[in-house]
């Protein structure tokens, strides 16, 4: 009987311990959009985080990219939605304005630490001295080239173009046309809706001595001498040098994949797709520098942020989770699984990564990259597309095209900042 | 003998037969009314309200009066898009009806493999618009992958830019849209033609009337209900064109310099890329008014003559 009584007490005690532990378990919710590699990486990170923090449970929810913002906007005012959320850096102002996300707690994320350890492009996440989000990984652009086509044209595949002059020369040598002048294979893809509009705005323009926007990002400044030079350089690839043709093979990346373009400018996010190419060997190098050695690049990223939903124990859990997501370990997992570059310098610039034939050019670019601050990415993009179309299809003069584009884009910025 | 309604209410819980019928009728009608009220009319009313706000999906909607409509009036893209929409309608509807009537008129006389040929015409209608649009998109590419340009170059002619042109893009997008709807219109026309009594034709033949007169005096007038239906139906279709345009010009949605952008695509972009819900709702209200006006006008013109 005594034994039984003690067993009962033991049972009750262990039951109490279990329920006690369960009462202390905090569940937080994490949202991101559907992209297979990202989901896989996040599942792995959550597994490791939960192993290290047994009292925290992270629920991972994903939505198709097209619905993602709409879902967040519908869920947040209803008190549903995530505690930690992934968002594109360009959406920040809208999210802050709607009070969906809160500033990162300064004890865990001191701005001085962020500015010392992360790449400079993350300062685009700073508003009034406070950071609202931090990336795990960042992306930049590179010049992909087809080694087989380089060899055919008598170029050294181990020595890709380093300057804009060499780039133009290589493009001329690798362009192939039939007897009547129809394009068979491009020297370089011309795809403004792809990454070329970033190349023009953040790279060519700056290399010609210009800047796309004022320092506070509220004024369009590309309607300038440098703007004309940059736009003409790009348009002349088709108009004068005839080394590329907009719309050839439908899209630039399709032309490159099919082996019908010697060079293309694209981002780290294309590595997975180009990795499947079996028919030829390709390499990647830094975007060509200008004659005076000026380099620039366009970087973009998704950040993780804490929403305004969690308080108390949940906020602590969300904070811990975000610390882990921006840790060196998480960045390495992300690089290995998704192929995106670590956002911390120390993790990115390891000897191993810097000697990696594919990652190295993208990593080097991060040191001189710009992250454009968009207020309405698709509308601002449309302005750029219209500009290049007026030049290439309607033969509009570069100066007039820039003036018209600057006026339209300024109207978009004004409407946003007026609020 | 006639039982008056009030005599039969013995077991009806105090309701007359007529009242019971009314109650039952409303009980059955309640489901569709509730459905339409909640799923159709309430959101429509909400769209009218939103068109007077500056809602951006994330903020609380604030009343701005007619500011969205003023902005629309001053927006050159809107007028371009409006012109495109009218062009889709003005070219699409007559061309598709003329084509489908010609096909149906001749197919009606074909006995050999009639069903098979009809099925072939109907097939594109069953195809997903998105898949079809992508196939046509590739047809329009420059050499070496574009079918049409390969043919042109093969004949020694110059390549055409098609979708990459500001003038050719709209007809290029319209062609597959017309082609896809053709099968449906042919089948409806065939049914209409079959419904005309043979006796009229026999009488006309006995009187020695020619084919053209039969077509003008018998076939077309008797086909009017079919025609009205198809004109209204295809007009609404062309005014709401979206799938073809969106898929054929996805890199630069709406074609170079908005050459192919219809109103629906502009609404979609304003709402779900730029998240300017109020402005998008204002565009939707305009589309609604246009659709209503065009449909009413067509019904009146075609019915009362």
Domain of residue B35, residue span = 15-50
Exposed/middle/buried for A352, CB within 10 Å: 0-12, 13-18, 19+?
Answer: exposed
User: Which of A246, A260, A386 is closest, CB to CB, to B257?
Assistant: A386
Identify all chain A residues contacting B141, using CB atoms and an 8 Å cutoff.
247, 249-250
In degrees, to the nearest 5, what angle opens at C-alpha B171 toward C-alphas B169 and B177? 110
d(CA B79, CA A131): 42
Predicted pLDDT at A10: 59
Contact B166 A386 (CB under 8 A): no
pLDDT at B10 > cutoff 60: no
Place of tokens 């700056």: A206
Contact A393 B56 (CB under 8 A): no
DSSP 8-class letter at B20: H
Domain of residue A225, residue span = 141-298+375-418
Q: Say if A189 falls within a structural domain.
A: yes
Identify all chain B residues contacting A183, using CB atoms and an 8 Å cutoff.
142-143
Average pLDDT over residues A373-395: 92
Identify all chain A residues contacting B274, using CB atoms and an 8 Å cutoff.
376, 378-379
CATH number of the domain within which B245 lies: 1.10.3720.10
Nearest CA in chain A to B250: A193
Q: For residues A101 and A148, state if they share a domain.
A: no
Q: For residues B45 and B123, state if they share a domain.
A: no
Predicted pLDDT at B114: 87
Contact B142 A386 (CB under 8 A): no
- Closest to A366 in 3D by CA, of A343, A347, A334: A343
Contact B144 A95 (CB under 8 A): no
Q: Say if A257 falls within a structural domain.
A: yes
pLDDT at B142 > cutoff 80: yes
A289-294's contacts with Cβ under 8 Å and 24+ in sequence apart are A289/A162, A289/A163, A289/A164, A289/A207, A290/A163, A290/A164, A290/A207, A290/A208, A291/A163, A291/A164, A291/A165, A294/A206, A294/A207
Q: Count residue pairs from A and B with Cβ separation < 8 A.
A: 73
Q: For residues A331 and A355, state if they share a domain.
A: yes
Q: For residues B173 and B30, state if they share a domain.
A: no
Mean residue pLDDT of chain A comes to 91
Q: Say if B127 falls within a structural domain.
A: yes
User: Which of A69, A182, A183 is closest, CB to CB, to B275?
Assistant: A69
Which helix (H) or strand (E) covers residue B90, if one does?
helix B76-107
Q: For residues B255 and B125, state if they share a domain.
A: yes
- Closest to B244 in 3D by CA, of B160, B166, B175, B148: B175
Q: For residues B71 and B46, state if they share a domain.
A: no
Q: For residues A183 and A264, state if they share a domain.
A: yes
Q: Say if B8 falls within a structural domain.
A: no
Cis before B193? omega within 30: no
Q: Which residue has the higher pLDDT, A303 or A24?
A: A303
Q: For residues A157 and A292, state if they share a domain.
A: yes
pLDDT at A358 > cutoff 50: yes
Q: Are strands A176-177 and A183-188 parallel, antiparallel or unpaired?
A: antiparallel
Predicted pLDDT at A180: 86
List CB contacts of B102: < 8 A, sequence separation 6 or more: none
Total domains in chain B come to 2
Total domains in chain A come to 2
Contact A393 B256 (CB under 8 A): yes
- Reported ipTM: the value is 0.83
Q: For residues A351 and A274, state if they share a domain.
A: no
Q: For residues B120 and B159, state if they share a domain.
A: yes
Q: Say if B288 falls within a structural domain.
A: yes
Predicted confidence band of residue A11 (pLDDT cuts 50, 70, 90): low
Q: Report the percentage of chain B scoring pLDDT > 90.
A: 69
Q: Say if B94 falls within a structural domain.
A: yes
Q: For residues A127 and A180, state if they share a domain.
A: no
Q: How many residues does chain A have?
A: 419
Q: Say if B108 falls within a structural domain.
A: yes
d(CA B298, CA A181): 50
Q: For residues A146 and A214, state if they share a domain.
A: yes
Average pLDDT over residues A117-144: 93
Nearest CA in chain A to B161: A247
Predicted pLDDT at A14: 57
Predicted pLDDT at A191: 95
C-alpha dist (Å) from residue A274 to A122, A161, A215, B104: 27, 20, 36, 49
Q: Say if A340 falls within a structural domain.
A: yes
Q: For residues B40 and B167, state if they share a domain.
A: no
Q: For residues A276 and A323, state if they share a domain.
A: no
Contact criterion met (CB below 8 Å) for B272 and A70: yes
B243-292 pLDDT per residue, tens = 999 999 988 899 999 999 999 999 999 988 888 899 999 999 999 999 99
Predicted confidence band of residue B6 (pLDDT cuts 50, 70, 90): very low
Q: How far is B254 from chain A (nearest CA, A)?
A: 10
A213-245 pLDDT per residue, tens = 999 889 999 999 999 999 999 999 999 999 999
Average pLDDT over residues B201-228: 91
Does the beta carbon of A360 lie under 8 angstroms from any beta carbon of chain B?
Answer: no
Q: For residues B73 and B212, state if they share a domain.
A: yes
Chain B positions contacting chain A at CB under 8 Å are: 56-59, 137-138, 141-145, 153, 159, 161, 163-166, 251-252, 256-258, 269, 272-275
Average pLDDT over residues B227-232: 92
Identify all chain A residues contacting B273, using CB atoms and an 8 Å cutoff.
376, 378-379
Q: Say if B282 falls within a structural domain.
A: yes
Q: For residues B26 and B114, state if they share a domain.
A: no
Contact B142 A183 (CB under 8 A): yes
C-alpha dist (Å) from residue B137 to A267, A390, B157: 25, 22, 20
d(CA B134, CA B153): 22
d(CA A249, CA A255): 5
CATH number of the domain within which A329 lies: 3.40.190.10
Q: For residues B72 and B46, state if they share a domain.
A: no
Contact A182 B165 (CB under 8 A): no
Q: Say if A116 falls within a structural domain.
A: yes
Q: For residues B130 and B29, state if they share a domain.
A: no
Q: Say if B60 falls within a structural domain.
A: no
pLDDT at A12 > cutoff 70: no
User: Which of B58, B144, B273 is closest, CB to CB, to A97?
Assistant: B58
Contact A394 B257 (CB under 8 A): yes
Q: For residues B26 and B99, state if they share a domain.
A: no
Average pLDDT over residues A372-394: 92
Q: For residues A358 and A348, state if they share a domain.
A: yes
Contact A394 B166 (CB under 8 A): yes
Q: Say if A15 falls within a structural domain.
A: no
Predicted pLDDT at B300: 87
* Interface-testing mutation among B133, B249, B256, with chain A (most A C-beta atoms within 10 A): B256
With left for phi above 0 and alpha for psi between -120 and 50, is residue B13 left, alpha or beta? left
Q: For residues A101 and A128, state if they share a domain.
A: yes
Record the pTM.
0.86
pLDDT at A389 > cutoff 80: yes
pLDDT at B83 > cutoff 70: yes
Q: For residues A341 and A413, state if they share a domain.
A: no
B102-114 pLDDT per residue, tens = 999 999 988 888 8
Phi, psi of A265 (to 5 degrees): -100, 120
Q: Say if B9 falls within a structural domain.
A: no
Contact criterion met (CB below 8 Å) for A92 and A298: no
Q: For residues A364 and A412, state if they share a domain.
A: no
Q: For residues B186 and B46, state if they share a domain.
A: no
């Amino acid at each position: 009987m005594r034994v039984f009584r003690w067993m009962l007490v033991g049972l009750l005690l262990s039951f109490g311990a279990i329920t006690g532990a369960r009462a202390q378990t905090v569940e937080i919710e994490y949202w991101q959009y559907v992209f297979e590699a990202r989901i896989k990486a996040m599942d792995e990170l959550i597994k490791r985080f939960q192993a290290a923090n047994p009292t925290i449970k992270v629920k991972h929810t994903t939505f198709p990219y097209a619905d993602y913002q709409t879902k967040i906007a519908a869920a947040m005012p209803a008190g549903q939605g995530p505690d930690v959320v992934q968002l594109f850096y360009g959406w920040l102002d809208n999210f802050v304005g709607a009070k969906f996300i809160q500033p990162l707690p300064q004890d865990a994320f001191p701005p001085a630490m962020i500015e010392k350890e992360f790449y400079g492009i993350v300062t685009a996440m700073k508003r009034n001295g406070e950071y609202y989000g931090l990336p795990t990984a960042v992306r930049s652009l590179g010049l992909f080239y087809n080694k087989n086509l380089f060899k055919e044209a008598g170029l050294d595949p181990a020595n890709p173009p380093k300057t804009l002059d060499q780039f133009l020369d290589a493009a001329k040598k690798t362009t192939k046309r039939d007897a009547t002048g129809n394009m068979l294979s491009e020297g370089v893809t011309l795809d403004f809706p792809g990454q070329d509009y970033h190349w023009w705005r953040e790279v060519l323009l700056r290399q010609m001595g210009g800047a796309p926007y004022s320092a506070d990002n509220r004024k369009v400044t590309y309607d300038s001498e440098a703007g004309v030079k940059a736009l003409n350089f790009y348009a002349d690839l088709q108009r004068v040098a005839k080394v590329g043709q907009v719309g050839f093979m439908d899209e630039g990346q399709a032309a490159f994949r099919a082996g019908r373009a010697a060079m293309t400018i694209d981002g780290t996010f294309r590595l997975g797709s180009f990795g499947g190419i079996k028919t030829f060997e390709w390499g990647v190098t830094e975007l060509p520098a200008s004659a005076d050695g000026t380099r620039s690049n366009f970087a973009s990223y998704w950040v993780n942020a804490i929403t305004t939903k969690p308080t108390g124990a949940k906020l602590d859990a969300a904070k811990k989770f975000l610390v882990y997501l921006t840790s060196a370990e998480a960045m390495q997992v992300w690089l290995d699984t998704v192929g995106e570059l670590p956002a911390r310098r120390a993790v990115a610039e390891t000897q191993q990564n810097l000697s990696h034939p594919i990652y190295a050019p993208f990593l080097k670019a991060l040191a001189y990259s710009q992250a454009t601050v968009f207020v309405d990415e698709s509308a601002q993009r449309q302005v750029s597309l219209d500009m290049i179309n007026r030049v290439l299809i309607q033969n509009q003069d570069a100066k007039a095209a820039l003036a018209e584009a600057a006026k339209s884009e300024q109207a978009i910025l004004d409407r946003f900042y007026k609020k | 003998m006639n039982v008056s309604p009030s005599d039969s209410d013995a077991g009806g819980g105090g309701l007359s037969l007529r009242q019971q019928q009314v109650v039952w009728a409303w009980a059955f009608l309640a489901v569709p009314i509730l459905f339409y009220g909640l799923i159709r009319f309430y959101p429509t009313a909400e769209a009218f309200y939103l068109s007077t706000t500056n809602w951006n999906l994330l903020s609380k909607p604030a009343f701005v009066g007619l500011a969205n409509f003023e902005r629309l009036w001053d927006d050159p893209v809107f007028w371009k898009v409006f012109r495109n929409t009218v062009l889709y309608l003005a070219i699409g509807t007559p061309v598709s009806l003329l084509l489908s009537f010609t096909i149906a008129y001749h197919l009606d006389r074909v006995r050999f493999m009639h069903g098979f040929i009809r099925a072939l015409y109907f097939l594109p209608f069953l195809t997903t618009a998105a898949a079809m649009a992508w196939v046509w998109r590739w047809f329009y590419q420059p050499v070496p992958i574009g079918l049409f340009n390969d043919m042109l170059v093969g004949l020694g002619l110059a390549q055409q830019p098609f979708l990459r042109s500001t003038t050719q893009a709209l007809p290029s997008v319209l062609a597959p849209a017309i082609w896809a709807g053709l099968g449906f219109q042919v089948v409806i026309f065939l049914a209409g033609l079959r419904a005309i009594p043979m006796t009229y034709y026999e009488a006309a033949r006995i009187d020695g009337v020619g084919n053209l007169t039969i077509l003008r005096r018998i076939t077309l007038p008797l086909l009017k209900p079919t025609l009205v239906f198809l004109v209204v139906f295809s007009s609404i279709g062309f005014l709401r064109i979206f799938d073809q345009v969106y898929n054929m010009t996805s890199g630069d949605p709406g074609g170079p310099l908005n050459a192919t952008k219809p109103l629906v695509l502009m609404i979609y972009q304003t709402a779900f890329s730029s998240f300017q819900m109020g402005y998008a709702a204002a565009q939707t209200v305009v589309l609604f008014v246009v659709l209503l006006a065009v449909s009413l006008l067509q019904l009146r013109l075609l019915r009362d003559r």
